[in-house]
Amino acid sequence: MAAWARAVRGLLLDVSGVLYDSGGDGGVPIAGSVEAVRRVKASGLKLRFCTNETQATREKFVKKLQGMGFDISVDEVTAPAPAACRILKERSLRPHLLVHNDLVPEFAEIDKANPNCVVIGDAAENFTYANLNEAFRVLIGMEKPVLISLGRGRYYKETDGLKLDVGAYMKALEYACDVQAEVVGKPAKMFFESALAEMGVPPQQAIMIGDDIVNDVGGAQRCGMRALQVRTGKYRPCDENHPHVKPDAYVNNLAEAVDVILQQL
Amino acid sequence: MAAWARAVRGLLLDVSGVLYDSGGDGGVPIAGSVEAVRRVKASGLKLRFCTNETQATREKFVKKLQGMGFDISVDEVTAPAPAACRILKERSLRPHLLVHNDLVPEFAEIDKANPNCVVIGDAAENFTYANLNEAFRVLIGMEKPVLISLGRGRYYKETDGLKLDVGAYMKALEYACDVQAEVVGKPAKMFFESALAEMGVPPQQAIMIGDDIVNDVGGAQRCGMRALQVRTGKYRPCDENHPHVKPDAYVNNLAEAVDVILQQL
């Protein structure tokens, strides 16, 4: 942490694994994170939540976080589903959805009859053998299969252990259909850029804080941002030897990140 | 079909999609295939069945085919599970199995306590969200994850439609754990070579007949064999424009293949 930290005007925060650990029971806040978000807001820094969360609508997701005590509102959240809806409309794509039941309302206004693409999100329990075969058949039946993936995460941590994320299932469909998915969400450059635009801060003055070495840290750095990795959530010690990505700094958790950043101001 | 066909001394036959179409009801023989196998045996050509079938033990699989009228015995079949068992024993590997229930008896003599590798086969209905997460956790918990895949097929055809094959799920785990699977089964060179050795015919005098352009045709050709693609099973017209693999000939089905080959003798 050095000169660049003094130039910071805005923070992008990953949510799962940074603010809280998700899980079947809704999850639990990570110690110090509720207070850390409050301190960022009080500091005058701009703040945006940049998540690949696709297990719920933004409304439901934000309500859950508010229930844990976080100061967060729907219009502060950049998430893949609304970004995907913009793309579907622009390109007149009618999706077959392989997503979590709770995400379906985000696509309420999208025509889904006679699908000409597949949209895959973190469908969790909906990743059944039957549903994967169905999505596969829709794709393989197209002359030029179009697969849109809401993120490309490998796995994430819930309170009862690590779970495969959407990226693993995306790879399965990519391989089966010999197609490359279009990724909406981190680490797609366009996704970070829209979060920055919504915050009104250029990448050189923004810091991303996340637990995912590739999708949070690597993705943000490729956009010209600085990025910190927290040692919470899906962080694993071997991340510190990643062959391609090196965070601008490590911090034990969000609270420590905010301590350090606010000290520089 | 030309001079090389006159040199043929042995045939390797893929089974699913060549002899029969599999399906929930056990499957149905492809027209003319029962008689075609009988004619090959009567001709004096050597014959071996070379399958990536991993939904049943060889005993059960052969019994099903016999029930359809095929002249086939267990010791004529080269299949991935017995090959995998040899590897597990040689390397003192103790597998966590993600396979079809009916394949489990093939691993009866293998120590499975405290697993130090994952073996994945075409688990079909066992490809549940929970089972995939469990296999993933076993792998990601290893210092150097070892993933052994019984085949790498993309998909296959059953009577009720196309289904994702083991290769798709292998890719999901490969991506999530950043590991490369060791493939046992077609198109692995060692697998074709052991089938040829068991038949006692060199690759130059053998013809592979299969419905899978990559795993049957491409794999066999890389071993120095000639290979025919049948237009049954998972064959799709676009296979004829495959960017890398070109069969030595196309035939409508196994019966036609046998007609043409026996005419050359």
How many distinct helices (H) and strands (E) make up chain B? 9, 14
User: Is A31 a residue whose pLDDT tops 90?
Assistant: yes
Contact of B230 with B240, CB cutoff 8 Å:
no
Of A136, A156, A164, which to mutate for an interface test with B (greatest number of B Cβ within 10 Å)?
Answer: A164
Contacts of B147 in chain A (CB under 8 A): none
Q: Which residue has the tokens 């390397």?
A: B91
ipTM over 0.90 threshold: no
Q: Do B161 and A128 touch (CB under 8 A)?
A: no
Query: Do B98 and B132 meet the contact criterion of CB atoms below 8 Å apart?
Result: yes
∠B205-B207-B212 over CA atoms, to 5°?
Answer: 155
d(CA B203, CA B9): 10
**Which positions in chain B touch A162 (Cβ < 8 Å)?**
133, 136-137, 140
Band (A139; pLDDT cuts 50, 70, 90): very high
Asked if A161 and B137 come within 8 Å (Cβ–Cβ), the reply is yes
The pLDDT, as a whole number, for residue A25 is: 77
How far is the C-alpha of B185 from the C-alpha of B83, rounded, in Å?
A: 8
Q: What does the pLDDT read at residue B1?
A: 63
Closest CA to B72 of B82, B64, B62, B57: B62
Over residues A64-82, the mean pLDDT reads: 96
Query: Which residues from chain B sit within 8 angstroms of residue A175, using beta carbons?
Result: 154, 167-168, 171
pLDDT for the residue numbered B159: 79
Residue B211 confidence (pLDDT): 96
- The per-residue DSSP string of A70-123 comes to ----GGGEE-HHHHHHHHHHHTT--EEEES-GGGGGGGTTS--SS-SEEEE---
B162 to A140: CB separation less than 8 angstroms, yes or no: yes
Q: For residue B82, is pLDDT > 80?
A: yes
**Distances in whole angstroms, Cα of residue A87 to Cα of each of A101, B148, B242:** 21, 39, 31
pLDDT digits (tens, 9 = 90+) for B132-161: 999 999 999 999 999 999 999 999 888 788
The mean predicted confidence, pLDDT, of chain B is: 95
What pLDDT sits at residue B135? 98
Q: Smallest CA–CA separation between B64 and chain A, in Å?
A: 24
Percentage of the residues of chain B whose pLDDT score is greater than 90: 90
pLDDT digit string, tens, across residues B93-120: 999 999 999 999 999 999 999 999 999 9
Whether residues B164 and A178 touch (CB distance < 8 A) is answered with: no
**Cα→Cα distances B82→A77, A238, B106, B107, B138, Å:** 52, 36, 7, 8, 23
Task: State which residue of chain B sits closest to A163, comparing Cα positions.
Answer: B133
CA dist A117 and A153 (Å) reads 21
For residue A42, give every residue at least 6 positions away whose Cβ sits within 8 Å of its Cβ, in sequence order, or none: none
Q: Residue A61's pLDDT is what?
A: 95
In this model, does residue A23 exceed pLDDT 80? no
In order of start, what are the domains of chain B with their CATH numbers? 3-53+61-79+186-264 (3.40.50.1000), 80-184 (3.40.50.1000)
Percent of chain A residues past pLDDT 70, beyond the cut: 99
User: Residue A6: pLDDT above 90?
Assistant: no
Q: How far is B246 from chain A (nearest CA, A)?
A: 18
Nearest-Cα residue of chain A relative to residue B156? A176
Alpha-carbon A182 to chain mean position? 15
Residues of B with CB under 8 A from a CB of A: 124-125, 127-129, 132-133, 136-137, 140, 154-155, 161-165, 167-169, 171-178
Interface list for chain A against chain B, based on CB atoms closer than 8 Å: 124-125, 127-129, 132-133, 136-137, 140, 154-155, 161-165, 167-169, 171-178
| Contact assignment for A172 to B169 by CB distance below 8 Å | yes
Query: Across residues B13-34, what is the average pLDDT?
Result: 92
* Stretch (H or E) spanning B67: helix B58-67
Residues A56-81 as b or e (16 or more Cβ within 10 Å = b): bbbebbbebbeebebebeeebbbbbb
- Which tokens is B181 given? 């699977």
Selected for mutation to probe chain B from A128, A131, A132, A215 (highest B CB count within 10 Å) is: A132
pLDDT at A26 over 90: no
Using a CB-CB cut-off of 8 Å, the residues of chain A touching B127 are: 129, 132
Enumerate the residues of chain A whose CB falls inside 8 A of the CB of residue B128: 128-129
Confidence of residue B255 (pLDDT cuts 50, 70, 90): very high
Region A73-86: mean pLDDT is 95
Chain A residues with beta carbon closer than 8 angstroms to that of B164: 132-133, 136, 172, 176
What are the tens digits of pLDDT across the range B155-176? 988 878 899 999 999 999 999 9
The share of chain A scoring above pLDDT 90, in percent, equals 90
Measure in Å the smallest separation between the Cα of B163 and chain A Cα atoms. 6
Structure tokens at B227: 């290979």
pLDDT for position B85:
95
Residue B24 has pLDDT above 80, yes or no: no
pLDDT in the model for residue A156: 85
Helix (H) or strand (E) holding B155: strand B155-158
pLDDT digits (tens, 9 = 90+) for A227-244: 999 999 999 999 999 999
B68-81: average pLDDT: 96
- Nearest-CA distance B165 → chain A (Å): 8
Beta bridge pairs of residue A48: A12
Whether residue B12 is predicted with pLDDT greater than 90 in this model: the reply is yes
Number of A/B CB contacts below 8 angstroms equals 78
Give the pLDDT score at B158: 83
The answer to whether the CB atoms of A172 and B174 lie below 8 A apart is no
Per-residue confidence at A1, pLDDT binned at 50, 70, 90?
low
Interface test with B, best of A171, A174, A244 (most B CBs within 10 A): A171
Q: Which residue is closest to A136 within chain B, CA to CA?
A: B164
A163/B176 Cβ within 8 A? no
Cis bond leading into A105, ω under 30°? no
